[in-house]
């Protein structure tokens, strides 16, 4: 079963999520968002790590938010609902 469990309000955007590696234990994705674009609220069924390569984005949780800058890593606990909004063109590696 895919580890992406629920996404709300998906629509056509410039957002690109490309799997660059995967096996039965984990996946590695490349996430690309244009400045001003938002990845809608969603959660995954395992812990996830976002490693920022380029740009800046804000990850918004129900009770807090975190700003991501190049070179920074963020841990997202299992089933924690969040969205990602790029304040400028953004590229990151997501491991879950």
Per-residue model confidence as pLDDT tens digits over 64-86: 999 999 999 999 999 999 999 99
- Give the C-alpha separation, 86 to 54, whole Å: 10
Confidence at residue 26, expressed as pLDDT on a 0 to 100 scale: 93
In angstroms, the first-to-last Cα distance of the chain is 14
Per cent of the chain over pLDDT 90 is 83
Mean pLDDT value of segment 88-94: 98
pLDDT at residue 34 is higher than 50: yes
pLDDT at residue 41 is higher than 80: yes
């Amino acid at each position: 079963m895919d580890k992406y469990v629920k996404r709300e309000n998906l629509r056509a955007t410039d957002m690109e999520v490309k799997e660059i590696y995967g096996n039965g234990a984990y996946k590695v994705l490349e996430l690309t968002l244009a400045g001003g674009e938002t990845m809608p609220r969603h959660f995954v069924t395992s812990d996830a790590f976002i490693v920022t390569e380029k740009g800046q984005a804000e990850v918004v949780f129900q009770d807090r938010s975190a700003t991501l800058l190049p070179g920074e890593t963020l841990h997202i606990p299992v089933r924690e609902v969040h969205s990602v909004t790029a304040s400028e063109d953004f590229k990151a590696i997501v491991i879950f």
